[in-house]
Amino acid sequence: MRHYPTDLLLAVEHVERSLLATPATEPHELRELLTSAGIADPASRLDSGQLHDGLDRFLDGVSQYPWQPLTDRDDVLETAPVGTVVLDDRQAEATLRGLLLAWALGNHVVVRTGRPRLWHAVMEALRAAGVPLPEGRTAPAGDPTPGEHVDVPALPADAVLALDCQAAWVHRLVRRRHLAGVSLARARAADHTERDQRLAARLRYLVARARRTPYHRARLPEPAAVTDVADIVTLPVLEKADLEAHSPPFSRDMLSADQPTGEVLRSGATGGRPRYIVYSRTDWENMVREAVPVLYALGVRPGDRIVNTLFGGGMYGGLTTTFSEFAKMPVEAYSTGQFATVDDLLTLVDGFRANVVLGMPALLLPLLREAKERRPALRIEKVVYGGTPMTETDKDWLRRELGTRVVSSILAANDGAQLGHQCAALGGTRHHVNDDYNLIEVVDEYGRPVPEGQTGELLITSMQKFEGPLLRYRIGDTGRVFTHDCACGVSGKVLEYQGRSDGLIRFKGETVEHGEVLQALAGLGVSRLQIEIGTEDGREVLVVRTEAPDPLDPADVRKLLTDTFPVLGDLQDFDAALDVFELRVECLPEGRLPRNPVSGKIRNVLDSRIAVAAR
């Protein structure tokens, strides 16, 4: 059985809380044993925050253990315990640090000591947290115990515990192996026998981090109650309205009391109340660590020259996140954002030999078509897109007209970062998922899991996002998940994305809610509204269909819509010369919108881009 650093951190936090909660004037057996052994301030050597920071740096990601994804190439280092670590108890402070780090890294520990009562008490106090920990025992001083004998030096009282994790002696607790040519996804897929316990450890730690926040404290069980990843279904569903109500700037109930760090992103519809998604520094670093292997899986290679046209500014995440990710990779990036013009693109292709373009189809395709008209010999080797689907017709055009060799997709959200990626062997709207980063469930409207392969609403649990944690968050998308042995070499779960479930319409890089549009049209007497978005000749076409008891003039409806929602008109953040969008209005008498023959319901939002892309 593999043990995980996060479980040791939970055990240390359990003991730390006990020490800090007991006044110095009141008895505390473990504190008394440690102080009598010469550790003047036991809580300073059982500082779970310092241990986390130190282990996170030592492992280059506690949340990625036992692998460390490399950034200059698409493979990993694997970390494993040495087995049995033998500690000679010369100084209690040094022995305590040795025990904690040896256990954190999965080793069995034997303490050779003349004070076995002390170390039995320490081990039992840590085990009282109820999480899985390695074996540990004592032996008489000088006992010929086999194992890795590690000499732990004393640490000055004012030394930083996190920095001690980088010391030379700590490296003797692990063995590292370079898995040449093995990507992070393939390493995890091959680790299928450990998958459930690996994810259970991730989930335990996430639950513990979430319980630091006022909102989650009363909703979630103690982390020790999570013994299997299947226990996730016992946790409550987080609805979007609750996330908005309890997140900044309206509330801080979903945030811990930790020192603020990291980045805050904005999410939500253009006309509604935005959501602000907080990523601590650790959250952001985890996102980047997990994203770099995904970018390699999308076809990015060392030496690529990438035009990044994803949307930026206004606290939107697309450009900001990829800027951080490309900065870690051996690539050259040109972060134009959505303001890229045809002149910009041609300059970068001609002058810098750019060979990759990244962006949303609504901007990319008109940009590339116009560039092709002006430069018939234009070639773009790789196109990576996200935000909305791309039709197979448009993919064929890229391959035929631009000689594009790689067309790949990343599925992501400001709320939870990357949700899935599409390798060259997958088509349509199918994406590999990464349960170690975002665990995706498919449920019915009541939050109950549906059978594998059946369509339902998506819940995401962001396993490595600890500030403003997202547990079983109903993100507003639909799809189905099934197991697939992919030709790319990665076996595991695949998500077939099937569109929005919450009435959101996304185009021009912006989002509008169906309910807001219906409310705006209420003054004209509109009783029913259907909105459909599709593509024609590389442009996004938004069709607004209304039902009303009295005849309506489509021109009046159009004017009201464009006045209320400027993004439906000529307003756009990118090159105004590009023909990227068309609004059409169809006014129908009552009863003329198509109904479901069984339920009589009208589909409020249709996204024909999904249907075309899935063919």
Residue 166: what pLDDT? Answer: 94
Q: State the pTM of this model.
A: 0.85
How would you class 294 by CB atoms within 10 Å of its CB: exposed for 0-12, middle for 13-18, buried for 19 or more?
Answer: buried
Tokens of 8: 């040791």
What is the rounded average pLDDT of the residues 48-64?
96
Q: Which residue has the higher pLDDT, 129 or 509?
A: 129
Residue 268: what pLDDT? Answer: 58
Q: Which residue has the higher pLDDT, 535 or 326?
A: 326
| Model confidence pLDDT, tens digit, residues 185-208 | 999 999 999 999 999 999 999 999
Residue 271: what pLDDT? Answer: 44
Orientation of helix 29-36 relative to helix 5-21, angle to 10°: 100
Cα–Cα distance for residue pair 95/314, rounded to 1 Å: 51
| Model confidence pLDDT, tens digit, residues 314-334 | 888 889 999 999 999 999 999
Structure confidence at residue 76 as a pLDDT band (50, 70, 90)? very high
DSSP 449: B
Indicate the SS3 state at residue 24.
coil
| Model confidence pLDDT, tens digit, residues 503-530 | 667 666 677 777 788 888 888 988 778 8
Tokens of 233: 């279904």
Residue 489 pLDDT > 50: yes
| Model confidence pLDDT, tens digit, residues 259-308 | 999 999 987 544 456 778 999 999 999 999 999 999 999 999 999 999 99
What is the rounded average pLDDT of the residues 539-558?
88
Least confident of 458-462, 507-511, 530-534: 507-511
| Model confidence pLDDT, tens digit, residues 215-250 | 999 899 999 899 999 999 999 999 988 998 999 889
How would you class 305 by CB atoms within 10 Å of its CB: exposed for 0-12, middle for 13-18, buried for 19 or more?
Answer: middle
Cα–Cα distance for residue pair 311/38, rounded to 1 Å: 57
The backbone torsions φ and ψ at residue 461, rounded to the nearest 5 degrees and listed phi first, read: -120, 110
End-to-end CA distance of the chain: 43
Residue 596 pLDDT > 70: no
Residue 613: what pLDDT? Answer: 53
Structure confidence at residue 372 as a pLDDT band (50, 70, 90)? very high
Tokens of 401: 């007209």
| Model confidence pLDDT, tens digit, residues 167-176 | 999 999 999 9
Residue 347: what pLDDT? Answer: 97
What is the rounded average pLDDT of the residues 111-128?
98
- Is the distance from CB of 401 to CB of 376 less than 8 angstroms? no
How would you class 476 by CB atoms within 10 Å of its CB: exposed for 0-12, middle for 13-18, buried for 19 or more?
Answer: middle
Cα–Cα distance for residue pair 557/587, rounded to 1 Å: 8
Residue 504: what pLDDT? Answer: 67
| Model confidence pLDDT, tens digit, residues 427-447 | 878 899 999 999 999 998 888
Cα–Cα distance for residue pair 33/47, rounded to 1 Å: 18
Residue 523: what pLDDT? Answer: 86
- Is the distance from CB of 266 to CB of 314 less than 8 angstroms? yes
Helix ranges restricted to H, 191-280: 195-210, 214-217, 240-245
Residue 599 pLDDT > 50: no
Please tell me the CATH superfamily of domain 504-613, with its number: ANL, C-terminal domain (3.30.300.30)
Structure confidence at residue 351 as a pLDDT band (50, 70, 90)? very high
CA quadruple 594, 500, 232, 223: dihedral, nearest 10: -140
3-state secondary structure string across 265-320: EEECCCCCCCEEEEECHHHHHHHHHHHHHHHHHCCCCCCCEEEECCCCCCCCHHHH
* Bridge-based pairing state of the strands 456-462 and 473-485: antiparallel
How many DSSP H helices and E strands does the chain contain?
A: 20, 26
Least confident of 7-11, 538-542, 552-556, 605-609: 605-609
- Stated as kind and residue range, the H or E segment containing 323 is helix 317-326
What's the mean pLDDT when you consider all of the chain?
90
Residue 361: what pLDDT? Answer: 82
The percentage of residues in the chain with a pLDDT greater than 90, rounded to a whole number, is 67
- In degrees, rounded to 5, the angle at the alpha carbon of residue 238 between the alpha carbons of residues 232 and 239 is 145
The set of residues, in sequence order, having a beta carbon less than 8 Å from that of 238 and lying 6+ positions away, is 470, 471, 472, 473, 474
Least confident of 195-204, 310-319, 478-487, 604-613: 604-613
Cα–Cα distance for residue pair 148/171, rounded to 1 Å: 12
Cα–Cα distance for residue pair 422/409, rounded to 1 Å: 5
Residue 264: what pLDDT? Answer: 93
Residue 455 pLDDT > 90: no
The set of residues, in sequence order, having a beta carbon less than 8 Å from that of 221 and lying 6+ positions away, is 207, 234, 235
Structure confidence at residue 598 as a pLDDT band (50, 70, 90)? very low
- Nearest to 8, CA basis, from 78, 119, 97: 97
What is the rounded average pLDDT of the residues 592-599?
65
- Nearest to 288, CA basis, from 327, 337, 336: 327
Domain ranges across the chain: 5-182, 504-613
